[in-house]
Amino acid sequence: GAGVSQTPSNKVTEKGKYVELRCDPISGHTALYWYRQSLGQGPEFLIYFQGTGAADDSGLPNDRFFAVRPEGSVSTLKIQRTERGDSAVYLCASSTGTGGGGELFFGEGSRLTVL
Amino acid sequence: SQQGEEDPQALSIQEGENATMNCSYKTSINNLQWYRQNSGRGLVHLILIRSNEREKHSGRLRVTLDTSKKSSSLLITASRAADTASYFCATDRSNTGKLIFGQGTTLQVKP
């Protein structure tokens, strides 16, 4: 597709449930990023991948959060035993990754609501 | 954690006026970027300025960077109602795309 695609756009779940959020980056982009944005705040970094490997996962808040990118394209963010505090918009971004840094292209986000 | 602080938090101006937003940050950086966000969803990249640059222009946007003061400003000239959005600065310390965002400035441009 032309841009970064995220599914679902909205997810409502109950506390304690397991959730998966999917990100399909721009074709050919080697770097993929996950951010989380709470209401009224700027996005907070969670994790980024260079190819298939997680280059930096220092932003994951705890071990209930995990992300994979098995084939170096699509990525899935997995949240176990969801808590109400996990409610936020989860943003995915990708970049060419060549030479590092540069412009990030963001998806529209997945809004997660934990009841 | 948030790297930067943005000032003002909210700004309301008339169409045609200029809008200036400021960003301060705490650590050394490789580059600083500005993003725009409508309706709390996806962010759109506006401009990137590297640590060895002092000023950059893109259309109606002008960005300055003062690394000695650890601050940046975004100027939007001749604003339009369509510029209404939230604007975020983001710093990249290591040129990896791992961005640390500020809290954002909410801009309202009245027609």
User: Are A102 and B97 a contacting pair at CB < 8 A?
Assistant: yes
d(CA A69, CA B7): 37
| Encoded tokens for A26 | 């721009």
- Between A and B, how many CB-CB pairs are < 8 A? 77
Residue-wise pLDDT for B9-64, tens only, equals 999 999 999 999 999 999 999 999 999 999 767 899 999 999 999 999 999 999 99
Nearest-CA neighbor of B89 among B58, B63, B52? B63
User: Are A105 and B45 a contacting pair at CB < 8 A?
Assistant: yes
pLDDT, residue B94, reads 86
pLDDT, residue A58, reads 95
User: Are A45 and B88 a contacting pair at CB < 8 A?
Assistant: no
Asked if the C-beta of B10 comes within 8 angstroms of chain A's C-beta atoms, the answer is: no
Checking if the pLDDT of A71 tops 70, the result is yes
Asked if the C-beta of B47 comes within 8 angstroms of chain A's C-beta atoms, the answer is: no
pLDDT, residue A2, reads 81
CA distance readout (Å), B20 to B7, B29, B70, B80, B97: 9, 22, 17, 14, 25
DSSP class of residue A84 equals: G
Phi, psi of A53, rounded to the nearest 5 degrees:
-95, 145
Answer whether A97's CB lies under 8 Å from A29's CB: yes
Question: Smallest CA–CA separation between B7 and chain A, in Å?
Answer: 13
Answer whether B19's CB lies under 8 Å from B87's CB: no
DSSP class of residue B15 equals: T
pLDDT, residue B2, reads 53
| Encoded tokens for B98 | 């791992």
Checking if the pLDDT of A102 tops 90, the result is no
| Encoded tokens for A19 | 């959730």
Asked if the C-beta of A87 comes within 8 angstroms of chain B's C-beta atoms, the answer is: no
pLDDT, residue B17, reads 97
Asked if the C-beta of A101 comes within 8 angstroms of chain B's C-beta atoms, the answer is: yes
